[in-house]
Structure 1
């Protein structure tokens, strides 16, 4: 472990059953990245320029501690085992969190599939957040690790991003000097999911769910449940895991 890598985040606490399960599902490929795309328009039909996106993104990131959260593996008290911890990034470089696609006006199925299948997250010494933006014309795709949230979380992001765009349009902003943000309060972490979840942990339920999906895969074979979606394409370069 290098000195620079240890300065990327601050360890905060351990993880509960739900966070470990979500993290493991993503690591094993049972779950993939979540994508929520939205098209932004204004009265003048202007495209979203880089400065506008950066300013709005800064407002959202500074307002939501969950966007600073990462997961870190550390040796546990049991010899040969590791424990999963939550951490808070000390800095986020917004410039590295935004990917600009070609100038096409529409998001294609290929764009979505590639973002869905990419393995973006370092699970050993994380130095960037568990999300990124892809920009294509007036379309913005919010791509994030499944342990960061569900589909509704993506809708919340776009709602907050739209509000930030509108607030920026009504106020004067200074010229940006840097794309790097520094965490203001590392102790201000989002709640552990189990603090607000009233369900019960059930290994049997998890196993049952996976058996149901396995049965559907075997039973339906090459048939597709969502028959109107295009066939997936092989991305051999995306099969490398941590």
Structure 2
């Protein structure tokens, strides 16, 4: 389908744009299925939800709040047509049946750990699904998980874990945080300035066509210089034609790209607020931030758990939000959209070798050194943005299907990716402490951010998100069969142990390995 044909599709709003084709093409081939942000919501039984304490009142509240949020955000009110074509488009949906985009799951057990396993299993299953009927349905859904009774929960409080799953072509991780913030506001009675949503028996009528934000490339000035373009082309040619003895060692990326399975595996690390506050303070003192520090800890774990051959170097990828570079007419705090690039940093053979040789008493300082080095490199990249960035080259790709399929059987570029979605502010998250526990107001106690299997992406993904004043969650995800589960279990155990130890003593305790 070309541009002219795309415009003839009934209800067409606009082409998705060159940057979004990156994600529509991946989804069409099953290579990137969805992103999920799960919020743990809580409200007291004394709430005014239809004057009742049964599940139906809670469901009614969530349905009405969801309708309000959908009415606020244009990207939630569109379908996608022609994902496999040269010019996919966003189309106007006349209505959304909320029963088709909502799923309720109840946990009948009593154990908190069992509930966490139930929740992760549910999210894993969603990551394995593709979006269907996008010409008639939106590319998102929510899954509401409701524990019947878990001993660790306070009495008189209703708890829900609401997972917002979405197609990457309509939003990014920050968009998902915005979604949960606005859903919480709607649950607490806030109403947007526009007219109330036209909701009748779960059918949300969308009378007016969504006014979508412009494509990324029209919002962010992605200027590409001829020098950058020539250097990019020469580097590609060199990587293919240069003799192996002159090339740098490839970083560890486990097995080559495969599309035999798209099953996702997840592991979760929970970090309490007290530990996070201490970590952030120490990061500032050492001139770095939390994301580079997590990269350093991941490096420490893998360097210890993998043999030097073939794991003699690692490449760490960090997604970067482009919202700060958006045009003034783009509302970066309140708009659901996908505005992301990424940057890779190589822990080369020399550094990794030095890391492995470090004495037990010196290993912790090596973690901080890695964090500082990566942090400086990342700040340098951000200082150059948005000029001369890879996102500015996406418009040059004429055949995305060929682009992706020709990577099958080849090594990946990055060992891992660490994506930090930031934190939901304390005022936005609310609280059920003190008098608020009897006020009938909802609060968000925790967020969990996860990505599905990415066969053409990094070997594994690390997703980070927090709720200010409450906790931070770190999720590990990887494509089934690409990695040994014992390695990822070990990484999750290392991160949990080291972060817990830091919360107790101000040290990761690496010397005790």
1:9/1:127 contact within 8 Å kept: no
Aligned-pair distance for 1:156? 0.9
Partner of 2:175: 153
2:78/2:210 contact within 8 Å kept: no
Q: Give, in whole Å, the separation in 2 of the partners of 1:229 and 1:145.
A: 27
What SS is found at the alignment partner of 1:121?
A: coil
Change (3 A) 1:202 1:223: farther
Say yes or no: does 1:134 pair with 2:146. no
Q: Give, in whole Å, the separation in 1 of the partners of 2:185 and 2:91.
A: 28
Change (3 A) 1:62 1:215: closer
Partner of 1:122: 133
Partner of 2:219: 196
1:56/1:168 contact within 8 Å kept: no
Aligned-pair distance for 1:183? 1.3
1:33/1:116 contact within 8 Å kept: yes
Q: Give, in whole Å, the separation in 2 of the partners of 1:168 and 1:21.
A: 36
Partner of 1:112: 123
Q: Which moved more, 1:143-152 or 1:38-47?
A: 38-47
Match runs of 1:21-170 below 5 Å: 21-44=22-45, 49-73=58-82, 82-104=86-108, 106=116, 107-122=118-133, 126-137=135-146, 138-167=160-189
Partner of 1:183: 206
What SS is found at the alignment partner of 2:181?
A: helix
Partner of 1:212: 413
What SS is found at the alignment partner of 2:82?
A: strand
Deviations 1:173-204 (A, max 9, x none): 9xx74211121321522322222123352259
Point out where structure 1 has 5 or more consecutive residues left out of the alignment: 1-7, 76-80, 231-242
Aligned-pair distance for 1:54? 0.7
Q: Of the two, which has the highest radius of gyration?
A: 2
Partner of 1:239: none
Q: TM-score if structure 1 supplies the norm length? A: 0.72
Q: What is the CA RMSD across the aligned residues, in angstroms? A: 3.6
Q: TM-score if structure 2 supplies the norm length? A: 0.36
Change (3 A) 1:38 1:187: closer
Change (3 A) 1:221 1:20: closer
Aligned-pair distance for 1:216? 6.6
What SS is found at the alignment partner of 1:147?
A: coil
Q: Give, in whole Å, the separation in 1 of the partners of 2:457 and 2:125.
A: 27
What SS is found at the alignment partner of 2:189?
A: helix
Residue-pair matches, total:
208
What SS is found at the alignment partner of 2:122?
A: helix
Partner of 2:296: none
Q: Give, in whole Å, the separation in 2 of the partners of 1:20 and 1:150.
A: 14
Change (3 A) 1:229 1:97: farther
Change (3 A) 1:49 1:168: farther
Q: Give, in whole Å, the separation in 2 of the partners of 1:155 and 1:16.
A: 23
Q: Give, in whole Å, the separation in 2 of the partners of 1:84 and 1:139.
A: 33
Aligned-pair distance for 1:135? 0.6
Point out where structure 2 has 5 or more consecutive residues left out of the alignment: 1-8, 47-52, 109-114, 147-159, 223-390, 398-402, 415-455, 460-480, 494-513
Aligned-pair distance for 1:31? 1.9
Change (3 A) 1:183 1:112: same
Q: Give, in whole Å, the separation in 2 of the partners of 1:216 and 1:61.
A: 32
